[in-house]
Amino acid sequence: ELKVEQNPLFLSMQEGKNYTIYCNYSTTSDRLYWYRQDPGKSLESLFVLLSNGAVKQEGRLMASLDTKARLSTLHITAAVHDLSATYFCAGPSGGGADGLTFGKGTHLIIQP
């Protein structure tokens, strides 16, 4: 059974700063997902990382996957207030088109 751990769970940072959210998972997986959730809203897909060494970037967010270390990172560059949200990483529970196992989420607050 896949276990997913994120850290930190809470992060308060100032605009303009850089920071990284870490996602460790317990069993071998060739895919890792990052989602964003705003308060009271559903989950918005940010990245799907499909192979070891995969790196994807969208605006100020960049995600990477190291399957050997069972680690994914979400890096925020020059944070802006609009990026305040909860970020979840998730992995397939058992391979294939399975349901996902999610981490507890990182609640990110970016202060002006």
Partner 1 sequence: EAGVVQSPRYKIIEKKQPVAFWCNPISGHNTLYWYLQNLGQGPELLIRYENEEAVDDSQLPKDRFSAERLKGVDSTLKIQPAELGDSAVYLCASSPGQGNRQGYEQYFGPGTRLTVT
Instruction: Tell me which of 32, 103, 108, 110 binds partner 1, using CB under 8 A.
Output: 103
Q: Kindly tell me which of 90 and 110 has the beta carbon lying closer to partner 1.
A: 90
Task: Give the count of beta carbons closer than 10 Å to the beta carbon of residue 81.
Answer: 11
Q: Kindly tell me which of 32 and 110 has the beta carbon lying closer to partner 1.
A: 32
Q: Kindly tell me which of 27 and 77 has the beta carbon lying closer to partner 1.
A: 27
Stretch that binds partner 1, among 14-22, 56-64, 66-74, 93-101 (CB under 8 A): 93-101
Give the DSSP letter string of 77-90: -S--GGG-EEEEEE
Beta strands in 1-112 (DSSP E): 4-7, 10-14, 19-25, 32-37, 43-49, 55-58, 61-66, 71-76, 85-92, 100-102, 106-111
Q: Does residue 69 bind partner 1 (CB under 8 A)?
A: no
Q: Does residue 11 bind partner 1 (CB under 8 A)?
A: no
Residues 15-44 that bind partner 1 (CB under 8 A): 31, 33, 35, 41-44
Residue 62 amino acid letter: M
